[in-house]
Amino acid sequence: MNKRMTFALAAVLVVSLLAACAPKTVTVTVEVPVERTVEVEKTVEVPVEVPAKTLVLSSEMFAPPAEQEFFINEILKPFEEETGITVNFQVIKGEDMFDRVTVQQETGHVTTDLVLVFNGRFSWWTDAGYVLPLDEVVSEWTDRTILPAFDRNAVVDGTRYFVPISADVYLTIANNKALDYLPEGVDLNNLTYEQYADWAIAIAEGEGEGKVCVTGVPQKMWIYQFGSSALSYGLNPAGQPEPAFPNVNSEPSAAAWAMWARIGAANGFMPTVLNVDNCVDPLMREEAWLSVTHNARVGQVYASAEAQYTVAPAPSGPAGVGTIAGAHGIGIVKGTANYDAAVQLLEYLTRPEIQVKINKGTGGFIPVVAEALDYLGEDPTDEIIRKALLVLENGVTSYLPISDFQDWGAVKKVFDDVFQQMVLQGDGTVDQALLDEAQARLDALRVEQ
């Protein structure tokens, strides 16, 4: 009896499984309502329930947990309370976001309403036609002016597809202990890279340990730290005639490498520099005293102990203050079922007061709405934003030509390898053969036009 039962149960299990997989034919009885004309003598108020909308905002910005928490709780929650629209905020890598939306566009099942994208990747989205024109939307905003500095690829053939919401540049940050070693007569606000190198070497000699922080872990920010210095030495910004960023072996690049190699040969970098993926922690732990890094990260450190650090613009070179400048912008995904709600969110995020709130709350990004600057106050983050604006307005800035290369991570790796082989393990001189070899690797990564 038991065996029969077991057999029967097994058979039922298999049949159920197969039945679940099989296509179903469903008979549905439909009741067709009969239309009637009813004469109403008095006005009746009928409460209409509007279903709550949920927007999906995918972002490659605000990856650090603290920034995410701030953006969700301090920025999106008030919007949800104001409009009744729920925002599902997802942080995702730029490449993965693009792949995900590609699938949605190909299948016609669009579930992502807005994308918050790094400006180096704007062209992926506009070339693929995945984002909607925003001119009509933007023209209705009379209380704000979007700074044109980041319009490249956000505006294509006169049509705007992305609205930038924040920007970033590179700044110098020093632990005040490092100021004791600042060469005499040097003005921190007009520091040159050669003075920066002298300063770093003086610290290393005085402390018996290097204190300069760059990101030595591959594929992080070294390319931008180096790129900013190379622009200062005369490298052209991306998109301009060669040699232009990114470049390894040109004369301006070699001059920048020589300056970094000088620091390396004097053991001026912190001893564990190859394990650093972000300079915030080493600066806060005082393992590093000196860095030229992303302004939001500088803001994070500075805001943690204002009295302990000094902030200045990025150092300059013969060509001026060079910096890599990035921005993040929002676009509305083609085929979204929530277009009006998406426009509402876009309008909210670009309000001048919200712009300041976002950019201050996430460490000190630069607001990209001109009127937002009126809201800057006197606290440490405001100072970071002012310094960053100074660099943005007066510096030699370059965008990131990500779409010119097969893979930006592989481009970063070329610069990381030169840093390890020539700057850290070298003798303080420039190995032109090594630079030429690296340049060949870089050129091989270019997308054939």
Binding site for other proteins (CB under 8 A): 3-4, 6-7, 10-11, 13-14, 17, 95, 209, 217-220, 270-272, 274-275, 277, 281-282, 285-287, 406-407, 409-410, 413, 416, 420, 445
Closest approach of other proteins to the CB of residue 290, in Å: 15
Closest approach of other proteins to the CB of residue 403, in Å: 10
In a 3-state reduction of DSSP, which class is residue 86? strand
Q: Which is nearer to other proteins, 118 or 339 (CB)?
A: 118
335 contacts: CB under 8 Å, gap ≥ 6: 104, 105, 108, 110
Nearest Cα to Cα of residue 315 among 386, 395, 258 = 395
Q: Which helix H or strand E contains 397, and what residues bound it? A: strand 396-398
Q: Which is nearer to other proteins, 303 or 410 (CB)?
A: 410
Rounded to 10 deg, the angle between the 295-304 and 380-394 helix axes is 160
Q: Which is nearer to other proteins, 138 or 445 (CB)?
A: 445
Closest approach of other proteins to the CB of residue 409, in Å: 4
Closest approach of other proteins to the CB of residue 426, in Å: 17
Closest approach of other proteins to the CB of residue 279, in Å: 13
Closest approach of other proteins to the CB of residue 438, in Å: 14
Nearest Cα to Cα of residue 121 among 328, 405, 402 = 402
Q: Which is nearer to other proteins, 152 or 220 (CB)?
A: 220
415 contacts: CB under 8 Å, gap ≥ 6: 222, 223, 226, 246, 248, 438
Q: Which is nearer to other proteins, 95 or 194 (CB)?
A: 95
Q: Which is nearer to other proteins, 82 or 277 (CB)?
A: 277
Q: How far apart are CA 171 and CA 311, in angstroms?
A: 7
Q: How far apart are CA 100 and CA 96, in angstroms?
A: 6
Number of neighbouring beta carbons within 10 Å of residue 89: 17
